[in-house]
Amino acid sequence: MEKPFLMSVEDVFCLQQGRMVMLTGRIERGRVRKGDEVEIVGLGGGATARVADIDASHVRIDEAGADMNVGVLLRGIAADAVERGHVLATPGSISAHACFAADITLLSEEQGGADVVSGDRLRFHTRSAAVWGTVTLHGVDVVPPLHGAEVTVTLEEPVALEEAQPFAFRQRGRAAGSGTVTRLPR
């Protein structure tokens, strides 16, 4: 609860003829209060807004904390400026990145894993964001199923990332493996 507020946006609703936007999702850490300033991070986001209200199961509350599923109502933000995959956070507490280093592990062939080589275009899933990216292998030419490797990932759109953050990836429409962010550019 003492960490900075962070909520992954899972859905966006336009209310009061577009005067308010409700962002729904699960609070990952910290707490948010009515009147707090929050930042929209990732996928080209970057706007800040003040929390007008918080909705928990159709009940208005003044404060919400970690592990709660809530709707955060913002005034003055266009509904098309926010989408699934954005992160709502305490301003300056997290930033968006399009490139990062990671350790990955592939699933077995029976589970959908297939060889990964440098230059493969994969679909990366982190929090509620799903973004295409290209993988560059380090020290090996190919990663077979059930093996791991150190890689650099270059995403097509920046997403909110932190070191030690887990992610999953898909290849050719099938689950292929998972990984952990090891290093972000400074």
Ordered per-residue pLDDT tens for the chain, 186 residues: 589 999 999 999 988 776 789 999 999 999 999 999 999 998 877 789 999 999 998 899 999 999 999 999 998 888 788 899 999 999 999 999 999 999 999 999 989 889 999 999 999 999 999 999 999 999 899 999 999 999 999 999 999 999 999 999 999 889 999 999 999 987
- Which residue carries 């060889």 as its tokens? 115
Q: State the pLDDT at residue 16.
A: 73
Burial 41-61 (b: 16+ CB within 10 A, else e): bbbebeeebebbbbbeeeeee
Q: pTM to 2 decimals? A: 0.89
Identify each DSSP E strand in the chain by its residue range. 6-8, 11-15, 20-29, 31-33, 37-41, 48-56, 59-61, 63-65, 69-75, 87-89, 95-106, 116-117, 121-126, 129-138, 142-143, 148-161, 166-171, 174-183
